[in-house]
Amino acid sequence: TGRVKDYFKTIQGKFVAPPPIEGEFAKNPHAEQQCLLGRGFSKTVMIAVLTEEAQSRADEEIQSSVLETIREINETLEKHARIGAVIISREPWSIENEVLTPTLKIRRDKVEERFAEKAEELARTAAEQGELLLHWH
């Protein structure tokens, strides 16, 4: 499900289809926008933007909710597709900052440009430590 060009291959050589995983994450009440990265990573990494309402809540409350959602999603995924880390972007994605297309679709390439370096570092650390990580950006 989803566009084939959205699929990526992890460092283990296994393909991951992000749209269904992103769809599950979108069920979190604090999630406004989300994009799963992992091309060549040891773990996948969810990049998320919070709802306006969630941005006014305590970081600890959001962190707890987001990590619980990820744990629930990971229980349903094959090992190679499991999310190892989450990056929460404090800046919303928009047409103006070129992360969204004029039809409001997320430009995965632009998300990768902005977050790939940190995402890859977190994926590596999560794989080494065997724990789920969260980073505010």
pLDDT for 59-117, tens place per residue? 999 999 999 999 999 999 999 999 999 999 989 999 999 999 999 999 999 999 999 99
pTM comes to: 0.93
- Whole-number Å distance between alpha carbons of 121 and 132: 13
For position 5, what pLDDT does the model report?
Answer: 73
Q: Which backbone phi and psi does 106 adopt, to 5 degrees?
A: -75, 130
Q: List the domain range (segments joined by +) for residue 10.
A: 4-136
Q: Which ranges constitute the DSSP H helices of the chain?
A: 18-25, 52-55, 59-76, 108-129
Q: At 73, which amino acid appears?
A: I
CATH code of the domain covering residue 53: 3.30.300.30
The total number of structural domains in the chain stands at 1
**Number of neighbours of residue 35 by Cβ within 10 angstroms:** 26
* Residue recorded with tokens 């800046």: 91
For position 6, what pLDDT does the model report?
Answer: 81
